């Protein structure tokens, strides 16, 4: 049984708008793209998994793309059909600037992925780095987590992949939450720590496969 997390400001759009507004200012003044959530090593592990398991023509969506850096890394690796979605207008503006500076083109859309009209496409792969975590910190998180799972399911092709990176939930917790619509295909290994004889990871990267509709 999932115990909900405490609601906090990271679950609000106002927080992200303010944060990306500041990151745009930093980017314009000294070219800093801002946070790479969970670090470059995790982004690199995601890209490497994609290189081994997905065609370069696969349709890929980054939900809650923030500054768009994961899309840039995927574009650098040769992925051709990339789209980024974020409900923060400032995040989309920052991602547009970062994309142009790196001479790539991907589709960037401001939308709330919890709204049914948000994504409406048939993707081969969806990547989420930290967005389900933010949704888990919203008011009414339980309801919103369910909407998220249904929406991701609806806009993936049959047997499409959802790569979910989380620091709030373990692999076991995520598996339980997604099991009505997804199976765990694999887990991308992340650095582990040992504490009191127990081994754990700070970040979980779970690759879910959509169950057949």
Stretch that binds ligand SAM, among 106-114, 152-160, 173-181, 198-206 (CB under 6 A): 106-114
Other Cβ atoms within 10 Å of 19 Cβ, number: 18
Q: Would you call 143 exposed, middle or buried from its count of C-beta atoms within 10 A (0-12, 13-18, 19+)?
A: exposed
CB of 212 to ligand SAM, least distance (A): 27
Which residues inside 137-196 make contact with ligand SAM, applying CB under 6 A? none
Distance CA 31, CA 18 (A): 18
User: Among 129, 145, 181, 210, which residue interacts with ligand SAM (rule: CB under 6 A)?
Assistant: 129
**DSSP class per residue in 51-88:** HHHS-TT-EEEEET-TTSHHHHHHHHTT--EEEEEES-
Question: What is the residue whose two structure tokens read 């859309």?
Answer: 109
Could you give the maximum distance between any two Cα atoms of the chain, in Å?
48
Please, which residue, 121 or 211, has the CB nearer to ligand SAM? 121
The answer to the question of residue 131 lying near ligand SAM (CB under 6 A) is yes
Binding mask 42-81 for ligand SAM (x = CB under 6 A): ----------------------xxxx--x-----------
Please, which residue, 64 or 160, has the CB nearer to ligand SAM? 64
The answer to the question of residue 27 lying near ligand SAM (CB under 6 A) is no
Q: Angle 13-30/89-101 helices, nearest 10 degrees?
A: 30
37 by DSSP, 3-state: which? coil
Please, which residue, 58 or 128, has the CB nearer to ligand SAM? 128
The answer to the question of residue 16 lying near ligand SAM (CB under 6 A) is yes
> Where does this chain bind ligand SAM (CB under 6 A)?
16, 35, 37, 64-67, 70, 85-88, 91, 112-114, 129-131, 134-135
């Amino acid at each position: 049984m999932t115990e909900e997390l405490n609601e906090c400001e990271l679950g609000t759009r106002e927080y992200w708008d303010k944060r990306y507004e500041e990151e745009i200012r930093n980017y314009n003044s000294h070219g800093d793209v801002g946070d790479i959530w969970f670090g470059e090593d995790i982004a690199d592990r995601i890209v490497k998994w994609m290189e081994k398991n997905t065609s370069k023509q696969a349709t890929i969506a980054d939900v809650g793309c923030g500054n768009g850096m994961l899309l840039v890394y995927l574009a650098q690796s040769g992925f051709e059909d990339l789209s980024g979605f974020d409900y923060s207008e400032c995040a989309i503006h920052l991602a547009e600037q970062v994309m142009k500076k790196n001479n790539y083109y991907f589709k960037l859309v401001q939308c709330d992925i919890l709204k049914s009209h948000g994504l409406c496409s048939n993707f081969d792969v969806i990547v989420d780095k930290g967005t389900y975590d933010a949704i888990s910190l919203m008011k009414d998180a339980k309801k919103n987590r369910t909407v998220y799972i249904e929406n991701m399911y609806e806009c993936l092709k049959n047997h499409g992949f959802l790569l979910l990176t989380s620091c709030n939930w373990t692999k076991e917790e995520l598996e339980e939450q997604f099991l009505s619509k997804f199976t765990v295909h694999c887990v991308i290994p992340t650095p582990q720590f040992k504490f009191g004889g127990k081994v754990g990871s700070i970040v979980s990267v779970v690759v879910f496969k959509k169950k057949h509709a």
